[in-house]
Chain A
Amino acid sequence: MSKLKPIAVYIARGITLLLAVSICSFILASASPINPETRYRLSHPGVSDEKVAQMRDYWGIDEPPVQRYLGWLGGILRGDWGKSTSYRQPVLDVIGVRFKTSLALMLTAWTLSGLFGFGIGSLMAVFRGRPLDRIVKRVCLFMCSIPTFWIGLVFLAVFAAMLGWFPFGLAVPAGVPPEQVTLGQRIHHLILPALTLSFLSFSNLALHTREKLIDVYDSDFALFARARGESDTKILFRHGIRNALIPAITMQFGSFAELFGGSVFAENIFSYPGLGAAVSVAGTGATDIPLFLGIVMFSACFIFAGNLIANILTNLIDPRTKEAAR
């Protein structure tokens, strides 16, 4: 029973956070020089004032901002997120379809970076101080500082252009009807963007895991384990992984923000039709404010969900916090 209390607190905090995000993003969107009227005038030169007045009325431009905000928020709560001006579909439908495509990409990248990060971090810790560790550590530090879009371009140049192993972009082969696309083709299209996206966080996780495992190796209980005849490898499997996994899981679920941010770059470079690509469509060329605000709210929920899961899992796995909650 009392175990649910911290979760209730997190959720209450999440709701206030989402309210704050909605207010801030709404204010920013209202303050931008682009509104439906200016956009309409730009795309339809010589439009009549009558038509413009109709438009202003339809979009509620003359209403006071607070009233407009409340109207928008009410719609969000009722499930009416407005209509995307660039896709000519309800915002929620656009997000739904696009997120499904993005999810495949993000989930693959997230799993890859988790496995590689933890594995490489463990390897570095076992070989700590030796040449292998030093080299891999430098490579990881180097990769931490590489921007996603750059590594994406390099992958495209090497694996798609030079070697021709992977397609240049898109989620499915061009010109093939959706029902004829095979799973193999989808995976083939997914690999390069997913690798690009996972490069973002795996070196970070590897360095953190290495640090945590070295702490374990320097700990009193590792000394005692050694005094009882356990080897370095045995200590890793018996004590190391157990102790390093909790921070790694917390980090991995806490990295949803970076994952989402990275997907914007990765999807644009590979023309991958996911939510990340939609962000830039909505935010730049088309200035699709309903979609843009919708994605902001959705991504805030997504990132919050990641942090919530991290908190809950840490509480569940770590026997020490279990005790504290009791």
Chain B
Amino acid sequence: MTEKKDDRKNKGFSLGVGTRRVIAYIVLVLLTILCLFWFYVLFVNATRSKAELIHGFTLIPSHYAAKNLYNLFHNSNLPILRGLLNSFLVATCTAVVSTYFSAMTAYAIHAYDFKFKKAAFTFILAIMMIPTQVTALGFLSLLRRINLMDSFIPLIVPAVAAPAVFFYMKQYMEANLPMELLESARIDGAGELRTFNQIALPMMKPAIAVQAIFSFVTSWNNYFIPALVLKSDSKKTLPILIATLRSADFLKFDMAQVYMFIFMAILPVIIVYLFMARSIVAGLTAGAVKG
């Protein structure tokens, strides 16, 4: 009763809660459509034949998905299977390397006291925002000098130094890795590396899972550096193949295959997201810089 009265009282200069709720739902539903529409159309078009695609727009899926996929996999101009494999290999290694060593770096700062601890921490935070693009020129000339051009190594190893992943791990350790536990492992005579590998790391599983997904996705989607590093066709990752697809004579291409290609490129991420969305979104806020 009183609530209703309050609503009415506010009406002069503000909308009631009910109205605001309706507006919020309408906007949210519209945004949901706006976010998903493109991917739905992509899905629909990936299931249609070349001939059907010429007929124009529709929201009803057709039944050529398997045929399109078959054609795509047998298209000798577009090594998509190879691309999927390369992308998967690079992204998986990157995720492993990045999470393991970032946890190690965070552990150094979290579990030990040493002279340059604070300086090291500040330094890592300070270099967080340096974009890879501005050092790309020197990076490429380094690779030419040490003969690592056209190799996956320069796409994977630099992920050892990932300040953002480190920062997340550090935050997580502060809340979830009590020093007493590490002390007791030491008393039991476990070596420091073993304490890290067998006691600290297992306790970091939730943080590692979230960051592994982020690292995997970032690497999977990465285009700028891989496009400059990878030269031979057998090593190209998916984003580079997409660029090839774009620069090919577009009208000569089978559009059904183009849609199927894009669909295959984003499908793995969408599948992972379907299962992990909740913890990914929660992980975002936990790692976010907040007051």
Does A pair with B? no
Residues of B within 8 A of A (CB): none
Residues of A within 8 A of B (CB): none
